[in-house]
Amino acid sequence: MEQLLAGKVAIVTGGANGLGKAAVERFAAEGARVVIADMDCERGEALAAQLGGAARFLATNVAEADQVQALIDFAVSEFDGLDVMFNNAGVSQAIFPRFVDDDLSDFQKVINVNLLGVMLGTQRAARHMKDHGGGSIINAASIGGSQAGCGILTYRASKAAVIHFTKCTAIDLAEYGIRVNCISPGNIETEMSAFPGKGMSDEMIRKIHEVVRPLRLAAQPLKRWGKPLDIANAALYLASDMSAQITGQELVVDGGASTGDPINRFIEVAQARARIIQEISS
Ligand SMILES: NC(=O)c1ccc[n+]([C@@H]2O[C@H](COP(=O)([O-])OP(=O)(O)OC[C@H]3O[C@@H](n4cnc5c(N)ncnc54)[C@H](O)[C@@H]3O)[C@@H](O)[C@H]2O)c1
């Protein structure tokens, strides 16, 4: 069977871990040559070595314009082109303190990585793609970007901006044959979704996931826990020509979590109502 990304060259930022790593592996399995861009050199290099000739690693901070330009140049010189840019790298922030007590010390970092990083990756990739037949740009957003909620407010705001930026650049870059879409994951079990703090061990992260999983599933219509591969499959679709007519879209991959209250809550309310009516009328 024909591979979906045969002959294509892709960059995945934040590709050393989590959702980015799954996308790197999926893209390579579908015939792409992939540049892994990350600040985690140990894991990035190990992944590139595992994939052999299909992958390269470049230490990159996506919030630095010169490093992003060097990344694009590296992909073009190593693999002779660039067809897919997955701006996946992102950072979250501490859940506590609540907003009124937050000194906003992590504001700049979250915005620099999550928004400026996406803007730089898009701009520098587009400068190459516009003269080379177009391409596909995919940005990592989040359901937190469209779903309001308490906590991690800078993170939510950064992802809201990514969704809007995606739509605007889809229009701006369409004349060059460049498609721009974003993916909004819901709850996917990675290090980030355990909100790791300094000095947290793997065991702590695993235990946090164990406790948090049922809480999150209660608010999700599909009682299936999302996997990094779910996001990698969405990215593969947007990267490939299967989505040739799709641009400016937010592809939500969240088991229905952002769709609305799961039906079982409504049933609980209806059952409570029926109980009260029965008690009072008997
Ligand atoms: N996991 C989820 O449930 C979830 C939900 C919604 C959105 N997302 C988004 O998906 C993306 C990937 O998340 P993840 O869960 O895989 O996170 P992760 O923490 O597991 O991996 C993020 C990767 O990005 C890299 N990175 C961080 N800052 C960087 C920088 N300045 N330059 C280059 N690389 C950098 C890290 O080293 C790491 O390898 C993020 O943008 C995140 O906001 C994740």
CA distance linking residue 40 with residue 148, whole number of Å = 31
* Ligand 1 binding pocket includes 46 (Cβ within 6 Å): no
Domain ranges of the chain: 9-281
Give the mutation target among 95, 122, 190, 213 for probing the ligand 1 site: most ligand atoms within 8 A of CB. Answer: 190
Phi and psi at residue 53, in whole multiples of 5°? Answer: -65, -15
Name the residues annotated as catalytic: 142, 155, 159
For residue 155, give the ligand 1 atom closest to its CA: 43
- The separation between CA 165 and the C-alpha centre of its own chain, rounded to angstroms, equals 15
Both tokens of residue 41?
């050199």
CA distance linking residue 144 with residue 67, whole number of Å = 28
Residue 205 burial (10 A CB sphere; 0-12, 13-18, 19+): middle
Task: Name the CATH superfamily, with its identifier, for domain 9-281.
Answer: NAD(P)-binding Rossmann-like Domain (3.40.50.720)
* Ligand 1 binding pocket includes 192 (Cβ within 6 Å): yes
Helix (H, G, I), strand (E, B) or coil at 140: strand
- Full-model pTM: 0.95
Which pLDDT tens digits describe the chain residue by residue (282 residues)?
A: 799 999 999 999 999 999 999 999 999 999 999 999 999 999 999 999 999 999 999 999 999 999 999 999 999 999 999 999 999 999 999 888 899 999 999 999 999 999 999 999 999 999 999 999 999 999 999 999 999 999 999 999 999 999 999 999 999 999 999 999 999 999 898 888 877 776 788 898 888 888 988 888 988 999 998 999 999 999 999 999 999 999 999 999 999 999 987 877 788 888 999 999 999 998
